[in-house]
Structure 1
Amino acid sequence: MSMTTSSSSAFKLICLLHSAVALSSGALMMFDMKGIYTFTHGIETATKLLGSSPHDQLLIRTSDSFSGLLLFAIGFLLFMVSFVKDKSFQSFFAKGCTVLHVIVAMWRFWFERRVEDLAWDWLRQTVGDILLGLSWVFFLVYSWREKYD
């Protein structure tokens, strides 16, 4: 296998893995948010997060559905990008995804941990964001190693 092929394969694999996570998470957010809240936060917190009045519940369900749709669209975009063969684009895209994951981790650290019902969960999610960002960093290091060897 040539050097350029292995780097492209790594990019495709990372994109497809991130795509699978985004597509499945987005679909679950659109159609089964109560199940996700119960699984990730427990029954008591899930009840609080789903709202107390019918109006609040409708707003929260609508917001979760749109967030899930956005995540699903991101997953579809990642799937399409996984087939791009241009090395400079792959590097640019990986850098952008790394920055995005760092920003999301910072958001969780600065804001989400202050929400009382989510305060215990922010660390686990921040570690997840950092690990997803590291997958792109590993791709960048791998492609730089190939470039300069």
Structure 2
Amino acid sequence: MSSPPSSSAFSVICLLHAAIAIACGASMMFYMSDLYTLGHGVETAQKLLGSTPHDQLLIRTSDSFSGLLLFAIGFLLLMVSFVRDREFQSFFAKGCTLLHVFMGLWRCYFERRVEDLAWDWLRQTVGDVVLALSWVFFLVYSWREKYD
């Protein structure tokens, strides 16, 4: 029994998410201080970058590894975009939706309590919801294709 043909919407969504992850990961690795300044302002960026040389080194190292992880996730998404098995696509989309929902919940419950980031959590949560909705739209689209 062969699986039904795969959806090109899955490839498009994966490629868009991969481009976002690769660009954000590369930016985090090499331009994090500039991103802090752009996103939070000069005063908050100085607080987020640490006050002692040791703290600054730890924060830069942490940001670089986080960026590297996001960069790797982007390449994983790039590779997954070429998978043609519809059942896997549905499973993967459900997992990504769940991941984005949990990330949004994390921001709502924990990140908003950090004083320097308190005003920023809502914007980032909206971004998580939008990314989750892209996968939900794919699931609805594939469900419609399956039952039409």
Distance 1:21 1:40 in 2: 17
Match of 1:107 in 2: 106
- Tell me if 1:17 matches 2:16: yes
Distance 2:16 2:47 in 1: 32
Match of 1:128 in 2: 127
Shift of 1:40: 0.8
> Which aligned pairs between 1:26-37 and structure 2 lie closer than 5 A?
26-37=25-36
Backbone CA RMSD of aligned residues: 0.9
Shift of 1:69: 0.3
Give the residue type in structure 2 aligned to 1:147: K
**Which of structure 1's runs of 4+ aligned residues deviate more than 3 A?**
none
Match of 2:115 in 1: 116
Distance 2:126 2:57 in 1: 31
Distance 1:8 1:78 in 2: 16
Distance 1:9 1:146 in 2: 12
Aligned residues: 145
Distance 1:79 1:38 in 2: 30
Shift of 1:122: 0.2
Distance 2:51 2:7 in 1: 49
1:46-97 deviations in Å (ceiling 9; x for gaps): 1100000000000000000000000000000000000000000000000000
> Which aligned pairs between 1:81-100 and structure 2 lie closer than 5 A?
81-100=80-99
Give the residue type in structure 2 aligned to 1:15: C
1:16-68 deviations in Å (ceiling 9; x for gaps): 00000000000000001001101111111111000000000000000000000
1:94-119 deviations in Å (ceiling 9; x for gaps): 00000000000000000000000000
Give the residue type in structure 2 aligned to 1:94: A
Give the residue type in structure 2 aligned to 1:91: S
Any gaps of 5 or more consecutive residues in structure 1?
A: none
Distance 1:70 1:123 in 2: 23
Match of 1:44 in 2: 43
